[in-house]
């Protein structure tokens, strides 16, 4: 038998039979099995050669073979293994069957039958295409169209509309592609759209700028909702910390700020405290907040005067 490309190893059976082996004995046993598989299922009954195959020194080989040798059969100057020989014969049988299939054309009979069925189906498809592309009257003369009970409820055996009546309209097949149809009719690429790709119509968002500060309008909105200057500063810091860490893009950061303020107020209401209480601030922070409030008020007045 030609050398098999692989040696089957039934892990459960192997471990069940070799629980008593040491690591050294496992290695020697597997090396002997793999070499035996590659050399026709036989090894020479020679202690020196077996020790070299198992990567064991001649001095230790008698101790290793005393345990490992129980798995092998020694006869007529050769070492064999029963399970390995049965697996080799099984592999040889499978290889021979595949070779015979290859000599017959490389395809099992069952696959050839499937291809034959596909061919018959293809012929039927072509026949249907021929029938449906012929004129209606020609198909009726050839008998391709049988009168149905619905078309002839009285059982008169003829066309309900008479010989001269126009046949029902048949669906027409067109080879015009969707792109050609759109181009000819000047239709948009997306039904109901403007013709531009959806991705192009959608505005791209951006992350919160690193130096973001609430604008005059942002500050005025928070103040209109009842927040004091220290509260607005506190919410602005939380807003920056959250969105700088999140890095989610937004199209309208002003709207995001307004929603943030509303959420802060709602959480304060849920706690029964109305507008969120101002955090404890030092005198310096309070002074800075007052300056900022005055600055924003001045900017708002200048904008109104313009």
291 occurs within a structural domain: yes
44 and 124, same domain (yes or no): no
202 occurs within a structural domain: no
39 occurs within a structural domain: yes
Give, for all 306 residues of the chain, the pLDDT tens digit. Answer: 556 667 888 899 899 999 999 999 999 999 999 999 998 889 999 999 999 999 999 999 999 999 999 999 999 999 999 998 998 888 888 888 888 888 776 555 555 555 555 555 555 455 555 545 555 555 555 555 555 444 444 444 444 334 444 455 555 544 445 554 454 445 444 444 455 555 555 678 889 998 999 999 999 999 999 999 999 999 999 999 998 888 888 989 899 999 999 999 988 844 444 555 555 556 676 777 778 878 888 888 888 887
The encoded tokens of residue 25 equal: 């004995």
Q: Which helix (H) or strand (E) holds 298?
A: helix 283-305
119 and 57, same domain (yes or no): no
Q: Is 80 helix (H, G, I), strand (E, B) or coil?
A: strand
* DSSP secondary structure string for all residues of 214-280: --HHHHHHHHHTT--HHHHHHHHHHHHHHHHHH---BS-HHHHHHHHHHHHHHHHHHTT-SSPPPPP
Rounded Cα–Cα distance for residues 143 and 153 (Å) = 19
Q: Is 45 exposed, middle or buried (0-12, 13-18, 19+ CB in 10 A)?
A: middle
222 and 299, same domain (yes or no): yes
pTM over 0.85: no
Query: Which domain does 254 fall in, by range?
Result: 216-305
173 occurs within a structural domain: no
Q: Which residue has the tokens 């498809």?
A: 125
Rounded Cα–Cα distance for residues 194 and 201 (Å) = 9
Domain boundary among 36, 71, 100: 100
The encoded tokens of residue 59 equal: 């001095």
Rounded Cα–Cα distance for residues 85 and 41 (Å) = 6
Cβ proximity of 32 and 18 under 8 Å: no
pLDDT value of position 143: 59
Domain boundary among 79, 100, 121: 100
Q: How many domains does the chain have?
A: 3
Q: How many residues does the chain have?
A: 306
239 and 266, same domain (yes or no): yes
Read off the CATH number of the domain in which 94 is found: 1.10.10
């Amino acid at each position: 038998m030609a050398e098999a490309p692989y040696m089957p190893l039934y892990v459960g059976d192997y471990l069940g039979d070799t629980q008593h082996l040491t690591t050294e004995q496992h290695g020697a046993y597997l090396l002997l099995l793999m070499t035996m598989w590659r050399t026709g299922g036989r090894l020479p009954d020679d202690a020196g050669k077996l020790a070299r195959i198992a990567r064991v020194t001649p001095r230790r080989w008698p101790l290793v073979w005393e345990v490992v040798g129980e798995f092998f059969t020694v006869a007529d100057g050769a070492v064999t293994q029963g399970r390995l020989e049965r697996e080799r014969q099984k592999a040889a049988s499978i290889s021979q069957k595949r070779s015979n299939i290859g000599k017959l054309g490389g395809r099992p009979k069952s696959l050839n039958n499937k291809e034959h069925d596909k061919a018959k189906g293809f012929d039927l498809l072509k026949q249907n295409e021929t029938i449906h592309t012929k004129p209606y009257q020609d198909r009726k003369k050839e008998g391709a169209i049988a009168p149905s009970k619905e078309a002839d409820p009285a059982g008169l055996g003829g066309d309900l509309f008479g010989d001269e009546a126009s046949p029902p309209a048949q669906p027409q097949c067109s080879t015009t592609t969707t792109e050609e149809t759109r181009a000819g009719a000047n239709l948009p690429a997306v039904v109901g759209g403007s013709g531009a790709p959806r991705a192009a119509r959608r505005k791209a968002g951006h992350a919160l700028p690193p130096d973001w500060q609430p604008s005059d309008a942002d500050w005025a909105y928070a103040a209109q909702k009842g927040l004091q200057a220290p509260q607005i500063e506190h919410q602005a810091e939380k807003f920056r910390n959250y969105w700088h860490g999140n890095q989610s893009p937004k199209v309208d950061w002003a709207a995001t700020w307004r929603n943030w303020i509303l959420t802060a107020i709602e959480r304060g209401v849920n706690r029964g405290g109305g507008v969120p209480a101002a955090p404890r601030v030092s005198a310096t922070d309070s002074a800075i907040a007052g300056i900022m409030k005055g600055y924003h008020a001045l900017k708002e007045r200048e904008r109104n005067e313009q």
